[in-house]
Amino acid sequence: MKGLLLRQGGLAEKAESLGAHFDRPGDYLELGEIPTPKPGPGQVLIKMRRATINPSDIAFVKGIYGQPRIEGKPAGFEGVGVVVDAGPGLFGKFLKGRDVGFYATPDGSGTWAEYAVTQAMLALPLKKGLADRDAAGLIVNPVTAVAMLDMVKPGTAFVFSAAASQLGKLMAGLAKDQGKRMIALVRREAPVAMLKDLGAAYVLNESDADYKTDLAKVLEKEKPVIFLDAVAGHRSAQTHNMMGDRARWVIYGRLDDSPAEILDPGAMIFQRKVVEGFWTTDWAAKTSFVQKMRVFGEVQNRFRDGRWKTDVSAELPLNQAIERLPQALAQPDGKVQIVMHDG
């Protein structure tokens, strides 16, 4: 089978931003031919139709994600396709012939290829009417939105950075439906109206002259204690510094390279402020099977009935992906997806 294969193994030595800048994909990936993988016990083999590219994929390919690379294996964490084979195990056999949205587990192989292997438990049989563009990104961002929003108490507000992201768009509607007021931070004017339409209570543009005053007013009025932050640079440090007592700075991404310093260590003591991390992988490990199924069901329903949608900015055929990736990823407002020959 053909796939975009990792040219390097292990982790990179230098820590850098986890953003989606990807100027030289050819340094990290090559289009190659490898034998189609075989599913082991509890695993399924999926014939790929489409794969989504997330910031975590780019970070992984560069060797700066919390999981070592395996040289020669295809990259890519999520996608959609049809189960064509299964190893020993009842659930895998049940999935045979079904369309699934799935996450590629480290013991399997990546989704930027014609076929991928993963644990059957992380392949979700698709409900009728779900579009492939939504199903290709069914897990990473949607599940993160649901899991992180659980930290926010109903009736309260929370701060959310990089809000024009796919995750931010999902979060805006979900928060509104749960009676939680999203204070969305963006860095451009274009997404402001869109996020308000989706359900954000406030949208503040960091490049506005009055941004800091406006943010201070909103923080004073709403008194949010949760800051869900994918940027984690100097501006995030300032935001947390402006928040009140017990403010929790929850870092779940690192899109900015500038230092995310603690500006007032005394506030960690006397205002009981906290800095912590969030990783959906940890959430999945500690959440019960029943609860996960509930979340997966809710995620599919939201896409099916149109409360959520996936904006796609570019669709790249597998064999053109390496050369077209830098330009495609530089486009704002939407996901880049890799499509297979019959996808």
Ligand X SMILES: NC(=O)c1ccc[n+]([C@@H]2O[C@H](COP(=O)([O-])OP(=O)(O)OC[C@H]3O[C@@H](n4cnc5c(N)ncnc54)[C@H](OP(=O)(O)O)[C@@H]3O)[C@@H](O)[C@H]2O)c1
Task: List all residues 6 or more positions away from 319 whose beta carbon is below 8 Å from its beta carbon.
Answer: 2, 31
DSSP-assigned beta bridge partners for residue 47: 82, 115
Q: How far is the CB of 237 from ligand X (least distance, A)?
A: 13
DSSP-assigned beta bridge partners for residue 158: 182, 226
Q: How far is the CB of 255 from ligand X (least distance, A)?
A: 4
DSSP-assigned beta bridge partners for residue 74: 5
Q: How far is the CB of 94 from ligand X (least distance, A)?
A: 28
Residue 73 in contact with residue 109, Cβ under 8 Å? yes
Nearer to ligand X by Cβ, of 16 and 27: the residue is 16
Q: How far is the CB of 149 from ligand X (least distance, A)?
A: 13
Q: How far is the CB of 110 from ligand X (least distance, A)?
A: 17
How open is the CA angle 64-69-70, to the nearest 5 degrees? 170
How far is 309 from 223, CA to CA, in rounded Å? Answer: 30
How far is 287 from 292, CA to CA, in rounded Å? Answer: 7
Nearer to ligand X by Cβ, of 109 and 205: the residue is 205
Nearer to ligand X by Cβ, of 230 and 314: the residue is 230
DSSP-assigned beta bridge partners for residue 185: 204
Nearer to ligand X by Cβ, of 146 and 162: the residue is 162
Nearer to ligand X by Cβ, of 86 and 215: the residue is 215
DSSP-assigned beta bridge partners for residue 53: 336
Q: Can you give the binding site for ligand X, defined by CB under 6 A?
A: 18-20, 54-56, 140-141, 144, 162, 164-167, 187-188, 230-231, 252-253, 255-256, 278-280, 332
